[in-house]
Structure 1
Amino acid sequence: MALTESQRDFVEIFVLGRSAPIDTGGDDPLAVWNSAKESTDAGISALQAAIRSYKHPDLDNIADAGLNGVTEGNQTAMMRALMEFRGAAPADRAKKAVALVQQVDAYRGFLDSNRVIALCERNPFGVSVPIRAQLGAALDRIAAIAAR
């Protein structure tokens, strides 16, 4: 039986330690973001499992937060901007594109400056969690789509 694309991506990232290519999702920035987010969520889940294996209440609290717990509202704002861009009438598309690019820039700034993101990527548990690479590539693609 052949592996699905998601299964191949999982093997690429977690078995072979490579960054899987982001599914471009065609011209749908929401699909681009969801693909990158799913890959990132897989890494975060693996890190959460490693942290929980120590069975310490403080570590459990950290594991419970997950990526959404530290995004400072950026995840919600990104989803809103993506949905508004996707659903925009042709007359409103340029305005929504500007708003989307602004949110892309805000999310990129968050990724570049957030200490927890850096700690997740350099975690001492031996789990590969390339958050900035995966989400950064998606942000680049989304900005390119919005600029058309």
Structure 2
Amino acid sequence: MPGVTAAPVPGPGRTDRLPLVLLFGQALLGLVVGVVWWALTRHPPTWVVGEPVVTSPAVYPVARDGVFTVLTGLLGVLAGLAVVRAPGPRPLLLLGAALAGAAAGALLAAGLGTSLPPTDPADSAHVTLHAWVVLLVQPFVVAVVVALVTLTRSLLEWTRVP
């Protein structure tokens, strides 16, 4: 019949590859975050450590951990939003891949950032994490974003008038 078109045949698409993209994409972005974290915190700028109010180098470890937390937390928000935007046919596989990728990305970021040398070889201010619990921020943020969006969607659907 003229004007009638057949429906496209579903094939491997974006949702089939999304778990792999979240797993390996976050790991690769962890390398970028590691370099950015190292660049921002080897000689912390004033907006990181709060100068001129606080001028002590004793706050540098806190600032380094804080910058790492913010960078990995932002990646966690993006990964969590990717999970809830395209759940696909296997949402638990997608969430698991996102959580594993977040953990791998945070580990790679910390490993790369701490292995890069200081600017001056005589400088003892090596970039490192002091509160290792910040490695869990990225997977935690992914889980919280997915949980909050899923709960909100469920409550809105539950309260919708038929």
Q: TM-score, normalised by structure 2?
A: 0.33
Larger Rg belongs to: 2
TM-score normalised by structure 1 residue count: 0.35
